[in-house]
Amino acid sequence: MKETTIIKPRKLSGFMELLPNQQLLFDNMINKIKEVYLKHAFLPLDTPVLELSEILLAKSGGEIDKEVYRFKKGDTDICMRYDLTVPLARFVAMNSEILHFPFKRFQVGKVYRGERAQKGRFREFVQCDADIIGNEELSLVADAECLKMVEEVFKNLNINIINQISNRNILFGFIEGLGYIDKVKQILTILDKINKIGRENAKLELKNLDVSDENIEKLIKIIEKRGNFSQILSEIENISINQTFQKGISQLKEVYQYLKAMDINEDKIELNLSIIRGQDYYTGTVFEAIIPEHKEFGTVCGGGRYDNLTSYFSDKKFPGVGLSIGFTRLFDLLLSNNMIKELSTSNIKLQIIPLGNTMTECLSLKNYFSNYFITEVSFDNRSFKSKMKDANKQEIPYVLIVGEDEVKSNLYSLKDMKNSTQYNFSKEECVKFIKNQ
């Protein structure tokens, strides 16, 4: 008889898999993010993981094409979504006649990128996005609301952040004003990576674009402007008369006024002109949140304003603004740096342990207690001592001991596992006691 070959259990690299207690914490933090989105009247959306390749790749190119998981099923060319923005664009274009604008949606879902797996970078990860989409136009109030939500999300997660804010029109117009209108994107690309390549390498690359030494110094000087919003605004608002530059200044001033009206915590924001956000579709406000005590984490939330979400799918103009949190990466960083307290190994509030022939009564009690909190009956055939030891190991806070005498009297032995104290209560008294702790 042929022996069965045992396959070694293993998973693909770049795919997070958590222990149940860690997953409880992960889900709890996701729910806290959703709380803020719902508070601001955003509607939930859940687009398919799989999209037609012609849809998903319409706005992509370069490195993104290499990272997409793409396959064929019959004659259908399919891709797994690599972000939540393109599916949103497709959804808005398909449903624009029935949506109410401005359309405020949030989506929490997994996305897939076939890049090289390494620490802090995943092939499958959860994104938490929120966007406001307008029809032909969208007030800058929407920009301010997204910025306010960033503050509230991380406050709800008990994570200290600084949200660094800018407007792409400022640098765009400044570069135009220096006379490099045909090289704006190339110069922005170099400035966007200055922290990675260093100031001297950035200067060399700018020099290779025939930017003069004098103008290189001006460019370096302006992107180093950061700090208090009103102070930095007053320092830069008159350094260029370029129309696009002044448009960016005006937009930033307006957004700042709305933020103050929303009672933004000014200690949690700063004006930072080095924030560019490399993607070409950003056209105005841009922002990146960092954890100041852990700048090595990089950006933990980013986003900005884009003029036309659906340019590949519709002739109509749908401007928008949004934010995105790469939550899997953030959670991994927090967990590996001991910045979040792990929950107990179980979400059970009360475990019922039967003694003698009381299983049916215990199941009836479980049905009652489950109306108030998560309850479980220990029904496996083990000794009472081992069940108590296991409940303690799982950090279950309360154990209800149900023997035949307890069934007759309707008074049950409730043990507080943390304090090692025991009480004789009716089931109603048990509920009241546990809920008041």
424-433 pLDDT, tens per residue?
999 999 999 9
pLDDT tens digits, one per residue of 344-367: 667 899 999 999 999 999 999 999
Residue 282 to residue 85: CA distance in whole angstroms? 13
Task: For domain 350-436, give its CATH number from 2.40.50.250, 3.30.70.2740, 3.40.50.800, 3.40.50.1100.
Answer: 3.40.50.800
Query: What average pLDDT does range 252-281 have in this prediction?
Result: 91
Residues 401, 415: contact at Cβ < 8 Å? yes
Helix (H) or strand (E) holding 180: none
The pLDDT of residue 185 = 85
348: its two tokens: 């059970």
DSSP characters for 421-434? EEEEE-HHHHHHHH
Name the segment(s) of the chain with CATH classification 3.30.930.10: 12-143+304-343, 162-290
Task: Name the pLDDT band for 199 (thresholds 50, 70, 90).
Answer: confident
Residue 252 has pLDDT above 60, yes or no: yes
The yes-or-no verdict on residue 20 having pLDDT over 60 is yes
Report how far residue 325's alpha carbon sits from residue 312's, in angstroms, rounded to the nearest whole number. Answer: 25
Residue 216 has pLDDT above 60, yes or no: yes
Split at pLDDT 50, 70, 90, the class of 279 is low
pLDDT at 115 over 90: no
User: Given this model, what pLDDT does residue 112 score?
Assistant: 96
Report the chain's mean pLDDT, rounded to a whole number.
Answer: 91
**Length of the chain in terms of residues written:** 437
Q: Supply the pLDDT for residue 116.
A: 79
Q: In the CATH scheme, what architecture does the domain 12-143+304-343 have?
A: 2-Layer Sandwich (3.30)
Per CATH, which fold does 162-290 belong to?
A: BirA Bifunctional Protein; domain 2 (3.30.930)
Q: 68-97 pLDDT, tens per residue? A: 999 999 999 999 999 999 999 999 999 999
Segment 391-411 shows an average pLDDT of 92
User: Is the pTM above the cut of 0.85?
Assistant: yes
Write out the residue limits of the CATH 3.40.50.800 domain(s) in the chain: 350-436
| CA 66 to mean position of chain CA atoms | 24
pLDDT at 1 over 90: no
| pLDDT, average across residues 227-250 | 93
